[in-house]
Amino acid sequence: MDNSEVFTFMEGKTIDLVPLNSEHAKIYARWINNPKIRRFICNRLPNTIEDIKKWFEPTKEGLKNNIHFEIWHKTDKKPVGIIGFYYIDWFDRHGEAYIYIGETDYWGKNIAPEATELFFKYAFNDANFNKIIAEIAVENKPSLSAAEKAGYIYEGTLKQHWYIDGKYVDVKTFRLLKEEWIKNNEEKMT
C-alpha cells in the first residue's frame, strides 16, 4: 500500500497512530461491517463507503466530541485498526475510549497494547484528559484481558446493557485516571 499520504501523529515501535485517511474509507467499511469485529463494537447498522466518508466532513459544533486514529503498521505499510474516543466531555476532561484491530491476521500480535500506550500518552499529555472510560462486553475475553494489562481499573458491571447475537449481555466498565497512569508509568521505570 502506498504510504505517501500517511502522516505520523504518534510514533511507536511497530505501529504509528496517524489521522484517518479518507482514501482508506473502503478498508474502514470492510472492517466495521465484518461480523467478527462489529459484534463487540456494537455496529448494528451496515455502513457504506459513503457513510464512512461522512466521518471526514466538518462538524458544526466546533470542538469534536470524538477523536479517531488509524493504527498504521510500519513494517507492513498498511492500516490495521482504529483507536479513539467516543463521547468526549471537554469540560470534565474525559472520554470513552475504543480500539479495534480490523485486520484479523494481526489479532494477538501485540498491536493493541502498543496502540493503547500511545493513545494514553496522547490523551493525558497532549489533550490533558483527566479520565479515560472503557466499556467491554463480558463475552469479549481478549479485550477484557487487554484492558487489565493496559492499566484500566474495573469500576462496575452494567447488567444487560448491550444487545449482541440475539441476547442482552452485561458490560464491564473501566476507568483510568491521569494520576493512575502517571503512577503506573513511574513504577514501570523503576
Query: What are the residues whose beta carbons fall under 8 Å from the beta carbon of 152, sequence distance 6 or more?
Result: 132, 134, 174, 175, 176
Amino acid residing at 66: N
Average pLDDT over residues 98-109: 93
Structural domain that includes position 65: 10-189
Establish if 111 belongs to a structural domain: yes
Q: What is the CATH number for 173?
A: 3.40.630.30
- Residue holding cell 466532513? 57
pLDDT classification of 183: cutoffs 50, 70, 90: very high
Establish if 63 belongs to a structural domain: yes
- The predicted pLDDT at position 189 comes to 67
Establish if 4 belongs to a structural domain: no
Lowest-confidence region among 4-18, 42-56, 89-103, 175-189: 42-56
- The predicted pLDDT at position 6 comes to 81
Average pLDDT over residues 33-52: 86
Average pLDDT score over the chain: 90
pLDDT classification of 25: cutoffs 50, 70, 90: very high
Query: What are the residues whose beta carbons fall under 8 Å from the beta carbon of 78, sequence distance 6 or more?
Result: 1, 72, 103
Average pLDDT over residues 149-167: 94
Please list, residue by residue across 40-68, b when 16 or more beta carbons sit within 10 angstroms of its beta carbon and e when fewer do: bbebeeebeeeebeeeeeeeeeeeeeebb
Establish if 150 belongs to a structural domain: yes
Please list, residue by residue across 146-167, b when 16 or more beta carbons sit within 10 angstroms of its beta carbon and e when fewer do: bbeebbbeeeeeeeebbebeee
Number of Cβ atoms within 10 Å of the Cβ of 23:
10
Contact 173/158 with Cβ under 8 angstroms? yes
Rounded to an integer, what distance in angstroms lies between the CA atom of residue 57 and that of residue 52?
10
pLDDT classification of 61: cutoffs 50, 70, 90: low
CA-wise closest residue to 10 among 86, 69, 93, 97: 69
- Model pLDDT for residues 133-155, shown as the tens digit of each residue: 999 999 999 899 999 989 999 99
- The predicted pLDDT at position 41 comes to 81
- The predicted pLDDT at position 185 comes to 86
Query: To the nearest whole percent, how much of the chain has pLDDT over 70?
Result: 94
Full 3-state SS string of 86-145:
EEEECCCCEEEEEEEECCHHHCCCCHHHHHHHHHHHHHHHHCCCCEEEEEEECCCHHHHH
Rounded to an integer, what distance in angstroms lies between the CA atom of residue 1 and that of residue 9?
19
pTM for the model: 0.90
Establish if 141 belongs to a structural domain: yes
Say whether pLDDT at 28 is over 60: yes
Establish if 184 belongs to a structural domain: yes
Establish if 2 belongs to a structural domain: no
Say whether pLDDT at 64 is over 90: no
Establish if 3 belongs to a structural domain: no
Count of the separate structural domains present in the chain = 1
Query: 94 versus 40: which is more confidently predicted?
Result: 94
User: Beta strand pairing status for 67-73 and 15-19?
Assistant: antiparallel
- The predicted pLDDT at position 63 comes to 61
